[in-house]
């Protein structure tokens, strides 16, 4: 079998017995996509571990150009959104496709505020966990458990139900995330304050106590909001694809988002910001950077510089550029520029950006490098970093889930395989 020729309208594929034409589909932006749907009826599958050459779906939500370092949400560049918008406006945009008018935004925010509380019985779930449980383990459990509480809007074929489930998830994620933290340190849960902004309220639920409720610093609230914007969506990454795959079975949205949280937890994905901070603690001192850079280059050593490299961005990560600025703003606001950990991070960034190995392989600091440092400066414990990523990404996940479920031709996701195990063999005869 060989690919014979590429035509603008399709590609001829020579199979052993016949030649078929595979249509080429063009998107609004990005490379053309070869439509291989007709291969299976011919008795062939494609082989693409890690889905590096596979477009798993059609989507109108987010566009990435990894070579040029472009990220667009519904067509708007991430740089413009990070500067001019706020997280709830971005949430509206991702979910509904357009920026809201002022009355639309007011209505959206006020509806979300009606959903910020969680059912009081959810508190019991927390008590079932050990105090030292990883907060992502708790999040996988409690977000999945939401499906047991909100039976009134679980019909995935009903657009109003889907909308209600989406709003509930977006509104409740900060409450649940902050509860994870409060539980781990044995402090009382703080109720949401609906007169605060989304990020401000999250910082309030994280750090206020019933005996001390100072308003969060606006510069830090804005930094938190920016972290949420930058993590809100990222096309068909591992966790979003997980949400889509789970959703393709008809599973309810809370279960699907819980599956997404599980996929995000891994250190190659959302766990990288946590892994990055752990790595900085392991390196410990600027004098040790050289040793760790050598370890990262050594193929026989599994160590990698966490927070460097990206599957799609092979030039630079546009989110990292924005996050870097925010990171410096926060360090300066908090007077932390001379903190040894942050000095170490900045020295590592500089050395890696100049090192031949990293430069030639295009391994730039990614968004998680800077968001990890920023979150740490905000006083957020390392184990909570991926939870915050999950909180923000819930908007992207639920937008993709909704896009998939509302498409007229949505299908159960069911990849195939190249089987290399035993051929059929018989159970051993008794001796």
Tell the smallest beta-carbon distance from residue 311 to ligand CMC (Å). Answer: 4
- Footprint of ligand CMC on 333-372 (CB under 6 A): 361, 363, 366, 368
What the block records as the tokens of 355 is 């090192």
Closest to ligand CMC by CB, 23 vs 66, is 66
Tell the smallest beta-carbon distance from residue 357 to ligand CMC (Å). Answer: 7
Whole-Å CA distances, 300 to 116, 303, 387:
49, 9, 32
Cα(first)–Cα(last) distance of the chain, in Å?
A: 46
CA dist 363 and 149 (Å) reads 44
Do residues 267 and 90 touch, judged by C-beta distance below 8 A? no
CA dist 262 and 139 (Å) reads 9
- Within a 10 A sphere around the Cβ of 116, how many other Cβ atoms? 20
- Footprint of ligand CMC on 276-335 (CB under 6 A): 296, 304-311
Tell the smallest beta-carbon distance from residue 309 to ligand CMC (Å). Answer: 2
Do residues 153 and 164 touch, judged by C-beta distance below 8 A? yes
Tell the smallest beta-carbon distance from residue 402 to ligand CMC (Å). Answer: 21
**225 is a contact residue toward ligand CMC (CB under 6 A):** no
Among candidate residues 278, 279, 292, the one with its CA nearest the CA of residue 351 = 292
Beta bridge partners of 209: 212
CA dist 9 and 21 (Å) reads 9
Do residues 254 and 226 touch, judged by C-beta distance below 8 A? no
Closest to ligand CMC by CB, 197 vs 271, is 271
Closest to ligand CMC by CB, 42 vs 294, is 294
Closest to ligand CMC by CB, 82 vs 296, is 296
Is residue 269 annotated as a catalytic residue, yes or no?
yes
Closest to ligand CMC by CB, 126 vs 370, is 370
| Of 7-15, 78-86, 133-141, 262-270: span binding ligand CMC (CB under 6 A) | 262-270
Beta bridge partners of 71: 64
Is residue 310 annotated as a catalytic residue, yes or no?
yes
Is residue 48 annotated as a catalytic residue, yes or no?
no
Helix (H, G, I), strand (E, B) or coil at 308: strand
CA dist 89 and 76 (Å) reads 12
**156 is a contact residue toward ligand CMC (CB under 6 A):** no
Tell the smallest beta-carbon distance from residue 52 to ligand CMC (Å). Answer: 8
> Of residues 162, 222, 226, 269, which one binds ligand CMC by CB under 6 A?
269
Closest to ligand CMC by CB, 136 vs 145, is 136
**Residues 145/147/152/157 CA torsion (nearest 10 deg):** 170
**Residues 279/284/289/292 CA torsion (nearest 10 deg):** -50
Annotated catalytic residue: which of 134, 204, 234, 310? Answer: 310
Closest to ligand CMC by CB, 164 vs 366, is 366
Closest to ligand CMC by CB, 41 vs 302, is 302
CA dist 178 and 207 (Å) reads 9
Handedness of CA 302, 309, 342, 265 (dihedral sign): negative
Annotated catalytic residue: which of 86, 134, 368, 400? Answer: 368
**268 is a contact residue toward ligand CMC (CB under 6 A):** yes
Annotated catalytic residue: which of 204, 231, 234, 269? Answer: 269
Tell the smallest beta-carbon distance from residue 370 to ligand CMC (Å). Answer: 11
Tell the smallest beta-carbon distance from residue 258 to ligand CMC (Å). Answer: 18
Tell the smallest beta-carbon distance from residue 310 to ligand CMC (Å). Answer: 5
Beta bridge partners of 62: 73
Size of site (CB under 6 A) for ligand CMC: 19
Furthest C-alpha separation in the chain: 81
CA dist 405 and 383 (Å) reads 33
Looking at beta carbons, which residue is closest to ligand CMC? 309
Whole-Å CA distances, 153 to 157, 252, 400, 410:
10, 10, 18, 20
What the block records as the tokens of 253 is 């949205």
Catalytic sites, residue numbers: 269, 310, 368
Residue numbers at the binding site for ligand CMC (CB under 6 A)? 234, 237, 268-270, 272, 296, 304-311, 361, 363, 366, 368
């Amino acid at each position: 079998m060989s690919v014979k020729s590429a035509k603008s309208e399709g590609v001829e594929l020579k199979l052993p017995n016949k030649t078929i034409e595979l249509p080429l589909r063009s998107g609004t932006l990005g490379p053309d996509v070869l439509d291989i749907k007709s291969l299976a009826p011919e008795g062939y599958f494609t082989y693409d571990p890690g889905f590096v050459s596979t477009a798993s779906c059609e989507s109108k939500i987010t566009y990435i150009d990894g070579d040029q370092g472009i990220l667009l949400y519904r067509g708007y560049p991430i740089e413009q959104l990070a500067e001019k918008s706020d997280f709830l406006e971005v949430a509206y945009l991702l979910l509904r496709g357009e920026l809201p008018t002022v009355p639309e935004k007011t209505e959206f925010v006020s509806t979300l505020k009606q959903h910020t509380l969680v059912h009081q019985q959810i508190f019991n779930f927390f008590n079932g966990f050990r105090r030292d449980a990883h907060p992502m383990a708790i999040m996988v459990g409690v977000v999945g458990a939401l499906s047991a509480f909100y039976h009134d809007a679980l019909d995935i074929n009903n657009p109003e139900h889907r909308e209600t489930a989406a709003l509930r998830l977006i509104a409740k994620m900060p409450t649940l995330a902050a509860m994870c933290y409060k539980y781990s340190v044995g402090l009382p849960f703080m109720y949401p304050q609906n007169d605060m902004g989304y990020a401000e309220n999250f910082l309030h639920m994280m750090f206020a106590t019933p005996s001390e409720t100072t308003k969060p610093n606006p510069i830090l609230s804005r930094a938190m909001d920016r972290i949420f914007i930058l993590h809100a969506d990222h096309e068909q990454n591992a966790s979003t694809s997980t949400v889509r795959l789970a959703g393709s079975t008809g599973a309810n949205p809370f279960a699907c988002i819980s599956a997404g949280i599980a996929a995000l937890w891994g250190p190659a994905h959302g766990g990288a910001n946590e892994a990055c901070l752990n790595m900085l603690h392991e390196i410990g001192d600027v004098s040790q950077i050289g040793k760790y850079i050598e370890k990262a280059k050594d193929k026989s050593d599994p160590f990698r510089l966490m927070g460097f490299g990206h599957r799609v961005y092979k030039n630079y990560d546009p989110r990292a550029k924005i996050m870097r600025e925010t990171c410096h703003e926060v360090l300066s606001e908090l007077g932390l520029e001379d903190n040894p950990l942050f000095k170490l991070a900045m020295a590592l960034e500089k050395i890696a950006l100049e090192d031949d190995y990293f430069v030639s392989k295009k391994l730039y600091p990614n968004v998680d490098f800077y968001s990890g440092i920023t979150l740490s400066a905000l006083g957020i414990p390392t184990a909570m970093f991926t939870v915050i990523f999950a909180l923000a990404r819930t908007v992207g996940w639920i937008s993709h889930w909704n896009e998939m479920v509302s498409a007229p031709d949505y299908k159960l996701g069911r990849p195939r395989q190249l089987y290399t195990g035993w051929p059929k063999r018989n159970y051993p005869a008794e001796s």
